[in-house]
Amino acid sequence: VVKEKDTVLDIGTGSGLLAMMAARAGASKVIACELIPALADVATKIVKDNGLQQKVDVIQKKSNALVVGVDMDEKADVLVSEILDSALIGEGVIPSLRHALQNLVKPNAKVIPAGADLRAILIETEHLHRVHPIRDISGFDLSAFNTFRTEDVSRRVQLSLLAHTKLTEEFPMRSYDFSALPPVTPDTNPEEVEIKVTIKKSGIVNGVVFWFNLRMNDQLTLSTAANGEMVHWGQAGYMFKKPREVTEGETFILRALYSDNLIRFRN
């Protein structure tokens, strides 16, 4: 994607790896921003160790604090980032890219990755249900320990290691085009979308497990599914407070709540 003489913006550079790859691909200048000071210091050293300090500028700032004309000479031709978690959007990729598209890159700039498609299944899992929330453990009431538990969020799971029963086939949730993001949607006022899912096996729905297929460009897609290329990412698991018994063949109404930083569900 990166062409000779391109200016590249790398958001959340971490080690500086993607920034150096962009420089190697021919970019004339790479602006690599990193919020965490210790990471920015190490990225600066790594760039220097690889002889790319003339092409790559590591700036210890959040991307929405960058100013064209101060931190970068011109708007970028290519926007690169890896600010994704197992639930796709929990590290702030949507607001970060939205700001960059509006303020830091040229019109029709190329974006890597280009977008993502969310997929999900409904599962039965007594293993996770026992501790989400915490109830009775070995005959003791530990429910007061939930004071330390963050409610209404998904957590990273590894479906291949989790004892569970799939109650549905995998189904599509939502697709994101990282070049044309939805309007600002605060976590306090999420967009609600109804998803109808056919139950394939009778059981008890404890929660939703979801993952994403990351579209790098028109040709290449990488998946965080349990059998995907990015399996190390893990999947996201959301457990319902009140499980629901279901019967094979019935239609389950799942409500997905989407905001800029969170994906939640209601059953």
Catalytic residues: 82, 91
Distance separating alpha carbons of residues 168 and 201, to the nearest angstrom: 7
Q: What is the DSSP letter of 132?
A: T
Let me know if 43 is exposed, middle or buried by CB neighbors in 10 A (0-12, 13-18, 19+). buried
Identify the sign of the CA torsion 110, 120, 94, 11: negative
Cβ neighbours of residue 85 closer than 8 Å, sequence gap 6 or more: 91, 156, 236
Cα angle, residue 142 at apex, residues 141 and 148 outer, rounded to 5°? 155
